[in-house]
Structures are given as structure tokens and as C-alpha cells.
Amino acid sequence: MRTLRLRACGLLLLAALVFAPAARAQVVVDIVGDTALATISLQDAGGTVYSAEVTIVFDDPHNLRVDSLGLSAQLVNPSDPALIARLPAGLHVDPAFPMMVTVAAPAQGTLYLSSAMAGTGVSRSLSFNDTYEFEFHTPDLVYTPNSPYRLLKAPIGGRFEDLTDDVRSGSTRARGRGGAFSQFLIASDSRLQLTVALGKLIALDARVLAAVLDNVLQADLLGLLAEVQTALIVPLVGCSNALDPLDRFIADVQAHAGNGIANLWRAQRDVANDAGEMESLAYTLRFSLLRCAGTP
């Protein structure tokens, strides 16, 4: 098992924020097997230190290294209109933890460890199959039962969406699965969970329609999502009844990943990881259904 470490300490430029432009930052990233571990400490100009641990566990990574992952962190301004415009209505960033993590794996093309590898066409950029599990753990946010905190993900500069599939104690640990990378933060959610579940179901349905699938498989997956929708119409017990068809949907996606459903992501960003994105959306929908059903 190999361990790679990168220590990055220095001045962090924060543009268009209420924080001073120079804030000290420390990001330490370790790679252990199929897992990336990041210990992060950011200090604003007022001397307040924000800390977090980020864990990314991959199903099946290739060329996973510190430099190929491209993980960085910065402070954001919760009151910044540009940030607020990127958040879904009903979510806000807690000033107690205004940290955003970016994973921007560089599209390195073809690099070689030695001249002997030249001409082999061996890529040194990051790729992975299926999904990764991303966990944001911070002592800066107090955990309570039925925690309102959610893990959000967005394309760089784009709109954030709820990725959460679990929130656990140990200060606050927010988790979610993903099929692609970009920016992550934790936000507090005041929305009704049934409304959230319906929104996630619509997004998942659209993702299935956008994927390149044969007609039979697509019809099967859409049929299972139709069962989820039908269950949600029933008051009180709908969220619980929707879990079975959703679990069958997840099982179908996993069974066809790489065999009927494209399941590769790579740093060149030239292919669509349909299976990973469907699985990610399905798991976060499952979390919302459990919350809607009253399961903590």
C-alpha cells in the first residue's frame, strides 16, 4: 500500500469576499489505496480557524495520486449574492463553516514516469469507474438528530445540488456519492423533505432519459421511477413505499454498469459516467425518502 503526501501552506487569495484577501491555508492530502484523505485548516483575517477532514473513497480508481486528484480548499462568504444564487432555494451556508472544497483533476494527457514509457500511450491522469463516496467531516458544526446539514456539489462556478446520502454524528459528517467532480460545501436545509424528494426524482428521471441506453433497459429504469412517483402520491406512507422500487432501480444500475450503462469518468471530461451519476442521484433520493418517512 502506497502513501503519497503533499503539503501546501501559504497565502490564499479570496476575491470578492468580506474576508481579507490574504488568509492562511493548509491542505494535507494523503492517498492510501483507493482512498484520498485531506486534512484542511483555513484561517481568515480575523484569526478564526475553520477545519475539516475530507475522505474520498473510490469504487475503482486509476492513477489516483495527489497531483492527479487536484484537491484544494477556500473560504466563501455566506452572504455573497453570487454564492447565494448558486444554491437551491431553502439552503444556506452556515457562517460557522464557510468552506468550499474543489476537486479539479487536471487533464494531464499522456505523461510518463520515465523515458522508457514514451510512446506507450499510458495516461497518467485520473479516471475511475462507477462512483466515489465523498465525506465532509468538520468539528465546526454541531450535530443534532435529524441534522439539517447537507452535502452539496456543483460544477466549477455552476449551481449547487444536494448530493447527501447520509449525515452522521462525530461533530458533523455529511456524505454523498458522485459520478463526476467539481466543488463541494455543506449547507443547512430548511425545505420540506417530500418536496426535496420529488425534485430529486425529476432530476433522476431526466438523467435516465439523457443517458445512452438501449430501449429495453431505459424502459425498465423509467418504469421503476414511475413506481417511485406513484408511491409518493399516497399520503403519509408514500415515502416508505417508494423505497422498494428505488432499491430495485439502484440494483439494476449497478448490475448494468459497464455492461449497458457507461460507467467511466476521466480527467479529460470527454465521456459521460451515466451509471455513476444515476447511482449518485438515486442514493441522495433514497436519503430524502428516509427523512420524509421520519427515519433519522
> How many CA atoms are closer than 13 Å to the CA of 252, on its beta-carbon side?
20
Other CB atoms within a 10 A radius of the CB of residue 220 amount to 16
Per-residue confidence (pLDDT) for residue 20, from 0 to 100: 38
Cβ-based neighbour number of residue 140 at 10 Å: 18
Beta strands in the chain (DSSP E): 3-13, 22-32, 35-43, 49-62, 71-75, 91-92, 99-103, 127-138, 149-154, 161-162, 164-168, 172-178, 183-189, 264-266
Q: Does residue 2 carry a pLDDT above 60? A: no
* Residue 1 confidence (pLDDT) above 60: no
Number of helices (H) and strands (E) in the chain: give both, helices first. Answer: 7, 14
Question: Of 2-11, 34-43, 146-155, 195-204, which range is least confident?
Answer: 2-11
pLDDT at 11 over 70: no
* pLDDT the model gives residue 12: 32
Taking only the tens place, the pLDDT of each residue in 216-240 is: 999 999 999 999 999 999 977 999 9
H-assigned helices in 79-237 = 81-84, 193-210, 215-233
pLDDT at residue 152, as a whole number: 98
